[in-house]
Amino acid sequence: MRKLWVLGVFGALAMLPFAALADTGDATSATLTLSGVIYITVTDEWEDMEIDQDAIAGMAGSYFTWGSITVKVKAMTDYKVWSGYFTDLTDEATEFENEDHVVALDDGIEYWLPYNSSFESITNPTQGFDWTGGFGTDMVTLFTGENNMPGGDEKTYTGKLDPSNLGDRTANETIQFTIVFVVEDTSI
C-alpha cells in the first residue's frame, strides 16, 4: 500500500506542468538619463560678400541678398529657436545707423536680427555651445516646435543685408558678421 501511495504522489506530480513548479516571473531595470533633449544643426551657404562699385550701381532693390542658411532642430520637448548677430566692430566711430536693421533672415517673412553684444562672449559659436544668457529683446524668435523625433523641423532662410544702415564706411574695410541660433526648451 505504501508503494502505491508513493507512486500515486509521483504520478500526480508528473501530471502537473513543469511551469507550475518553477518561478514564472522576473524583472530588470535600467535608468535613462537625458543630458540633452534638443539638437540643432546649422548648414550655411552664407559666403563672404564683397560690395564694390558694380554691386552698388546694379542694386535694384532695398537689400542685398546674401546666401542661405538652413536650421534643423530635432527635439524631445517643446522648443523655440531664437537668433541675433554680432560683429567684430569695436570702434564706436564705426557704429551702424540702426544695428537692429542690418542683417535679416527671410523664409517668406523677414526677420531682422537684433545686434546682441552678449554673443561676443561665446568662445566658438560655430562649434556648438551652451547658452546661459536670457531670452528677450536682444534676440528674435524664428520658429517654435514640439517633440519632432525622429525627423526634426527644418527651415531655410535667405540672408539679407540692408546697406543703408551700415553707417559711414571706408574702402577696403571688412566686417565679420556672426549669426547665432539659440534653442530654448519651452517645456521648463
Instruction: With 0.85 as the threshold, say if the pTM is over it.
Output: no
Contact 156, 41 (CB under 8 A): no
Q: Where are the domains of the chain?
A: 38-185
What single letter denotes the amino acid at residue 126? T
What single letter denotes the amino acid at residue 147? N
**Which cell is 24 given?**
514564472
Q: Render pLDDT for 143-174 as a digit per residue (tens, 0 to 9).
A: 999 999 999 999 999 999 998 888 888 888 88
Residue in 100, 107, 116 with CA at minimum distance from that of residue 162: 100
Percent of the chain predicted with pLDDT > 90 = 36
Side by side, which strands form the sheet with 177-185?
140-145, 79-87, 177-185
DSSP code at position 180:
E
**Which cell is 119 given?**
554673443
DSSP code at position 172:
T
